[in-house]
Amino acid sequence: MTQKHNQRQRQQIVIVGAGFGGFQAAQSMANADADVLLIDRNNYSTFVPLLYQVATAQLEPSLVAYPIRTKLRGMRNIQFLQSQVELVDFDKQLVKTTAGPFAYDYLVLATGTQSSYHSIPGAPEYTFPLKTLTDAIALRNHILRCFEKASRMTDPHEQQRLLTFLIVGGGATGVEVAGALAELMRGALQRDFIDLAGEGRLVLIQSGSGLLQEFSQRLGNYTHRHLEAMGIKVCLNTRIAQVEATRVILADGEAIATATVIWAAGLEATRPDLAPSLPPSPKRKLLVRDTLQLVDYANVYAIGDVAAFAQDHQSLSGVAPEALQQGVFVARNLRRQLRNQPLQSFAYWNKGRLAIIGGYGGVGRILGINFGGILAWALWLAVHVVYLPGYRSRLLVLLTWLQNYVLGDRASRQILPAIAQLNIDKELSALSVRSNPDDYL
């Protein structure tokens, strides 16, 4: 890697982030006349749409985490670096990482989004986000621990609190987590904890007047009825005022005692530190031209959720196909720019939209046709297993779903042990903190 990066005659392209957009952009730059460095903090690319299934004990974490180097094996002009980006210096054309600085001629920012808490007190400290594999495993461990703890609880109020799960947000993520959690609780956990049967309580809190507002009102109503039929209490037009360690306080003053608040209520761009800094923008997104270049820098592109791209005066909605198409497109524009050819404008080709509810329910809009029910549910699963990278993961996910839905069981119910940090940058003496005591309740 170092050798290649010293050969300054070849143009250097740095891509920050190996999510849907960045990983696709790197792949699409294979055999281009430039050296590409793909940087991510993890050595895997996370298949975010299935994270909720990891969080609800349905899938093993590794099935939705694709090792980045696998796909890049044949691509000799593409290098991977596992590191954290600390600063992007536009003037010096440097990306500063925890592994040192890297110079670029062209830069692609694909750093995605993170939870946004709308300044609600306590939300950052006391709610569970669901954006990374870490989040999903932590949430799964927590849900299973709540049941383990509740099973030996004599105080009925405390038991009820441990078995009350609040989901904040009535968009696709909130709905799918609520449904999957209901399936988990009335399936595997009901059989694991017979003394607690029927004690679990699920509440979905939505600030707006309907669920899945990116779909039609009819489908939103269908989703509402379907979730309620699964035993979930749906609260529309309801806002959170504050989150505390042991309860949530709603805007109308009502308090709900709970040990678990899942945050699916808002996102903002994950913007790395930039020098010079860019002006504030809605949801902290980076303003881009039609070509996906930054408004301010012609040699810097932004793609995926970090980019503020609007089509037909509407922002993109933040789904994977948008990032994937932008990843393919940015590679084409980069190749044009390398050859000093004129750049083209990006246009998103919307194939439709699907959302899964659980309990054999889903909704969809394809070619302008709205539909809900088991067809949308099955189509959602089919589309996501097809897009999941890696034949092994696809096969194992299919087998797991077969078991889940035929037997009504969940296999991945292990509370994974805590793995203490080993930071080999800070000398190996850090090893002494490696083997912390196994976790216990």
Give residues 50-69 in contact with its own copies (rule: CB under 8 A).
60-63, 65, 67, 69
Length in residues, the chain: 441
Stretch that binds its own copies, among 178-186, 209-217, 365-373, 392-400 (CB under 8 A): 392-400
**Contact call for residue 31 and its own copies (CB under 8 A):** no
**Contact call for residue 340 and its own copies (CB under 8 A):** no
Give residues 112-141 in contact with its own copies (rule: CB under 8 A).
125-126, 128-129, 132-135, 137-138, 141
Q: Which helix (H) or strand (E) holds 16?
A: strand 11-16
Question: Which one of 8, 191, 218, 351 is in contact with its own copies (CB under 8 A)?
Answer: 191
Stretch that binds its own copies, among 9-17, 308-316, 323-331, 433-441 (CB under 8 A): 433-441
**Contact call for residue 335 and its own copies (CB under 8 A):** no
Least Å distance, CB 246 to its own copies, is: 6
Least Å distance, CB 286 to its own copies, is: 21
Hey, CA dihedral for 133, 138, 141, 147, is it positive or negative? negative
**Contact call for residue 395 and its own copies (CB under 8 A):** yes
Question: With respect to its own copies, which residue has the nearer C-beta, 344 or 436?
Answer: 436
* Residue with the two structure tokens 């932004």: 302
Contact (Cβ atoms closer than 8 angstroms) between residue 294 and residue 287: yes
Residue 300: burial class (beta carbons within 10 Å; 0-12, 13-18, 19+): buried
Phi–psi pair at 436, nearest 5 degrees? -70, 160
Q: Single out the residue of 167, 189, 195 nearest to residue 52, CA to CA.
A: 167
- Which own/partner contact pairs does 380-389 have at CB distance under 8 Å and 24+ positions apart? 380/354, 380/355, 380/356, 381/356, 383/354, 384/49, 384/50, 387/47, 387/320, 388/47, 388/50, 388/63, 388/64, 389/45, 389/47, 389/66, 389/71
* Residue with the two structure tokens 């495993």: 137
Give residues 211-270 in contact with its own copies (rule: CB under 8 A).
245-246, 259
Question: With respect to its own copies, which residue has the nearer C-beta, 39 or 234?
Answer: 39
Question: With respect to its own copies, which residue has the nearer C-beta, 379 or 415?
Answer: 415
* Residue with the two structure tokens 């507002």: 213
CA gap 24, 19 in Å, rounded? 8
**Contact call for residue 290 and its own copies (CB under 8 A):** no
**Contact call for residue 422 and its own copies (CB under 8 A):** yes
Binding mask 151-170 for its own copies (x = CB under 8 A): xx-x-------x--------
**Contact call for residue 84 and its own copies (CB under 8 A):** yes
